[in-house]
Amino acid sequence: MMALEHLTRLTLSHNKLTEIPQDIVLLVNLEKLNLFNNHIETLPSNLCDFTKLKTLNLAINRLKALPRGFGAFPVLEVLDLTYNNLNESSLPGNFFCLETLRALYLGDNDFTTFPAEVGKLQNLQVLCLRDNDLIRLPKEIGGIQRLRELHIQGNRLSILPPELGQLDLCGTKQLFKAENNPWVTMIEDQMKIGPSHVFEYIRTNTYKFLYERYTEAEPEPALRKTERAKRFGKK
């Protein structure tokens, strides 16, 4: 199979692969690699040698960490790491060098915080952090000007950094999902009447003041949800 050097798309979803052979990079023209729903636990460290890879789907696997140098893909645009066992210490140092990324899916993982370096991904349009253990968001997300889709539902978030107000996530081509979080009452009330009200509210000076007071007080984060533990007993 490794002789198929003209191959541009390879889909291996719904198998029981536990690892990927290093030779896979011989498929030098590969633009799309789909390994959705396998049993992969580790990735070869030379994976980033795919110089033309634009889409990499590793959702529903058993990754605990990404190999060193993973951030060296030169043209990667869509990276799907949904439903793995990743957290903030699983990311290699150069992860946020993936500046060509326009969609990053990290839903159903184990992040409790998210690195501020995410602000370097200036081409990012979609950021999915759904169903993690996040207790706060980095304010740098507010600086990703092109962001139009943000999924942060199902976390342990109680407040939003006011910098998020710089984003426009309320149009018909934008998306903001934030339910199932232990929001403070002021935000929860705005959530009920719609995301545009949330953004209007966090742009106010009142909120900035309350936010500072709230973060200074360092409240105990909400407890981890018990139901989430189940999901690693995968079938």
Partner 1 sequence: MLQPLDKSTASPLFQRRLLHHNEIEKLNINDSRPNSISSNMSLLQNGVCARCGEGFKMKDQIVNSHDQTWHPECFVCAQCFQSFPGGIFYEFEGRKYCEHDFHVLFAPCCQKCGEFIIGRVIKALNNSWHPDCFRCQLCNGPLADTGFMKNAGRALCRECHAHEKARGLGKYVCHKCHAIIEEGHIKFKEEAYHPYHFNCKTCGSELTADAREKNGELYCLRCFDKMGIPICGACRRPIEERVVNALGKYWHVEHFVCAKCEKPFLGTRYYEKKNLAYCENHYHQLFGNICFVCNNIVAGDVFTAFNKAWCVNHFACSVCDRKMSQKTKFFEFDMKPVCKSCYEKFPGELKRRLKKNYDAQSKK
Tell me which residues touch partner 1 (CB under 8 A).
Answer: 9, 11, 13-14, 32, 34, 36-37, 57, 59-60, 77, 80, 82-83, 102-103, 105, 107-108, 126, 128, 130-131, 148-149, 151, 172-175, 180, 227, 230-231, 233-235
Min. distance of Cβ 102 from partner 1 in angstroms? 7
| Closest to 111 measured CA to CA, from 78, 144, 82 | 82
Min. distance of Cβ 141 from partner 1 in angstroms? 17
Closest to partner 1 by CB, 52 vs 139, is 52
Other C-beta atoms within 10 Å of 23: how many?
11
Contact 170, 145 (CB under 8 A): no
Min. distance of Cβ 235 from partner 1 in angstroms? 6
Closest to partner 1 by CB, 141 vs 148, is 148
Closest to partner 1 by CB, 6 vs 16, is 16
Closest to partner 1 by CB, 6 vs 230, is 230
Closest to partner 1 by CB, 9 vs 64, is 9
Q: How many Å apart are CA 234 and CA 149, to the nearest integer? A: 28
Min. distance of Cβ 111 from partner 1 in angstroms? 15
Order of strands, sheet of 103-105, starting from the edge strand that comes earlier in the sequence: 9-11, 32-34, 55-57, 78-80, 103-105, 126-128, 149-151, 175-177
When computed from its CA atoms, the radius of gyration of the chain, rounded to whole angstroms, is 19
Q: How many Å apart are CA 225 and CA 11, to the nearest integer? A: 34
Closest to partner 1 by CB, 11 vs 122, is 11
Decide: residue 212, CB within 10 A, 0-12 exposed, 13-18 middle, 19+ buried. exposed
Min. distance of Cβ 211 from partner 1 in angstroms? 27
Min. distance of Cβ 3 from partner 1 in angstroms? 22
Q: How many Å apart are CA 196 and CA 176, to the nearest integer? A: 9
Query: What is the enclosing helix (H) or strand (E) of 186?
Result: helix 185-193
